[in-house]
Amino acid sequence: MNYSGFKVFWEGITGNKGWTPAWRDPEPKAEYDVIIVGGGGHGLATAHYLAKVHGITNVAVLEKGWIGGGNVGRNTTIIRSNYLLEGNQPFYELSLKLWEGLEQDFNYNAMISQRGIMNLIHSDAQRDAFARRANAMHLSGAGGELLNREQTRAMVPFLDFDNARFPIQGSLIQRRGGTVRHDAVAWGYARGADSRGVDIIQNCEVTGFDIENGLCRGVQTSRGAIKAKKVAVCVAGSSGRVMAKAGMRLPIESHVLQAFVSEGLKPVIPNVITFGAGHFYVSQSDKGGLVFGGDIDGYNSYAQRGNLPVVEDVCEGGMAIMPMIGRARLLRMWGGIMDMSMDGSPFIDQTHVDGLYFNGGWCYGGFKATPASGYCYAHLLATGRPHEVATQFRLDRFMRGGQIDEKGQGAQPNLH
Ligand SMILES: Cc1cc2nc3c(=O)[nH]c(=O)nc-3n(C[C@H](O)[C@H](O)[C@H](O)COP(=O)(O)OP(=O)(O)OC[C@H]3O[C@@H](n4cnc5c(N)ncnc54)[C@H](O)[C@@H]3O)c2cc1C
C-alpha cells in the first residue's frame, strides 16, 4: 500500500477500514542469503538498502525485542553533518543527503525537520576550532556558517549571553541540521524493507553463531537455528556481548546515556542548540516538549536507565546557558545503552570470520548516521568492498594507529 495525502483523505471519509499492517509478521525460514542481527535503525536501514539498491531480498532482520525498542527510539533525534575529520565528514554528509530524500524514498512521514543546529562558542580558541570545522564542512558541501554574538542573539535571545563563566561569543550553525521523529525512522525502514520481501522477525534473540573452520554458516536463535550465507551484526549497545559469542573482543565499551523531555510548551526554541562549554543539547519537539541531554553516566552498564548525578549535571548545564529552562517541569527521562568506541568513531567492517560482518561503535552519534550506515553496510555486504565514504571504519584501525579521534581528546569513551 502506498501512503499519500489522497489515501489519508479517502480513508478519513470511508471509516479508516482500508489500512493494512505496515510490515508482516513472518515465521523464520530455514535459510537466508543475509541475516541481519538487530532491528534497530541501522539493521533496518541495511535491509532496506540491500533490497532497494542491490536487489538482495532473501534477507531476515532478527530482533530480540520489538523494532524501535533500542536506541533508535531513545535518542534526542538530532541530525547533522558538522564533522571535522576526513574519515568522518563525507560519511555524515552522505547521511544528511539521504535524510533529505528519505521520506520519498521509503514513503513514510518521518517528520524530518531541518531547523538548523547551532553550536555555541564561548572562547577565542573555540572560535578558531569551529572555523576549522566549518572549512572542513565546506569541503564536502555540508555548509556551515560562523555567526557573531549579535547574529546569534537575534536567533536565540533567551540564552544567557553574559554568563559570568561562559559568555556566548557566537556560534557555528549548520542550517541543514535538525531533528527527525526517531521511531518513524525504524517504522519507515521496516516498511520499506518488508515491502521488498525482507522478513522482519521480532522476539527472536540471536544466542550464538554457527562457525566452522573460520566460516560463519548461520546463527542460533531463541526460535531455533537459521542458516545464512552472510551474517551482519548491528546491535549497538549489545555489540560486546553478541560478538563475544563469535570469540571477538571489541574496542568498545557499553555505557548508559540518558535523555529528558519537559512538559509541552508553546514554541520557544527555533532550532537545535548545543552548549559549547558544558555538555548540554536541546531542541523542541513538534508536540512542544523540550528534548535535552548531556554526558554519558560514566560507568559500564547494560541497563536502559541511568542515575541521578548525571540528571543533576545535565540540569546544571541547561541552567547555565538557558536559565528559563528552570521554569519547565520534567515530564519523562530514560536511558539507552551506548556502544562507545575508544576514539568516538564507528566500525563498518568484515570480521576475521568469513561471512561474519560487524557494524557498531556509534557512541551517541549513531542516529544521524542511520541512513549512511545502512547504505554503506549494504554496500559492503553486497560487493565485499567498503563504500568509498566508509573506508576508515575498520576494526584494525587501532592496531595500525589509524584512529579517527574526532574530538582530539584521546582514546577513552568518556572523552567523546
Ligand atoms: C539517550 C540517547 C540520546 C541519543 N541522542 C542522539 C542524537 O541526538 N543524535 C544521534 O545521532 N544519535 C543519538 N543517540 C545515538 C543513537 O541513538 C544510536 O547510536 C543508534 O540508534 C544506534 O543504532 P541502532 O538504531 O541500530 O541501535 P538500536 O536501536 O539499539 O538497535 C540495536 C538492536 O539490536 C537488538 N539486539 C541486541 N542484542 C540482540 C540479539 N542478541 N539478537 C537480536 N537482536 C539483538 C536490540 O534489541 C536493538 O533493538 C542517542 C542515544 C541515546 C541512548
262-276 per-position pLDDT tens digit: 999 999 999 999 998
- Residue 224's pLDDT is 97
Question: What distances in angstroms separate CA 93 from CA 137, 175, 370, 377, one per listed residue?
Answer: 8, 13, 12, 16
Return the best residue to mutate from 35, 235, 281, 307 for the ligand 1 pocket (most ligand atoms within 8 A of CB): 235
Cβ of 78 closer than 6 Å to ligand 1, yes or no, is yes
- Residue 316's pLDDT is 95
Distance in Å, CA 237 to ligand 1 centroid:
7
> What's the chain's average pLDDT?
96
Which residue has the CA at smallest separation from atom 9 of ligand 1? 78
**Strands, E, within 48-112: which ranges?**
59-62, 78-79
pTM: 0.97
Distance in Å, CA 402 to ligand 1 centroid:
25
Cα–Cα distance, 344 to 407 (Å, whole number)? 8
pLDDT tens, residue by residue, 305-361 = 999 999 999 999 999 999 999 999 999 999 999 999 999 999 999 999 999 999 999
The Cα diameter of the chain in Å comes to 65
Q: Locate the ligand 1 atom nearest the alpha carbon of residue 67 and give its number.
A: 49
Kindly report the CA angle at 177 between 119 and 155, in degrees rounded to 5? 55
Cβ of 177 closer than 6 Å to ligand 1, yes or no, is no
- Residue 416's pLDDT is 75
- Residue 412's pLDDT is 80
Average pLDDT on 1-26 reads 94
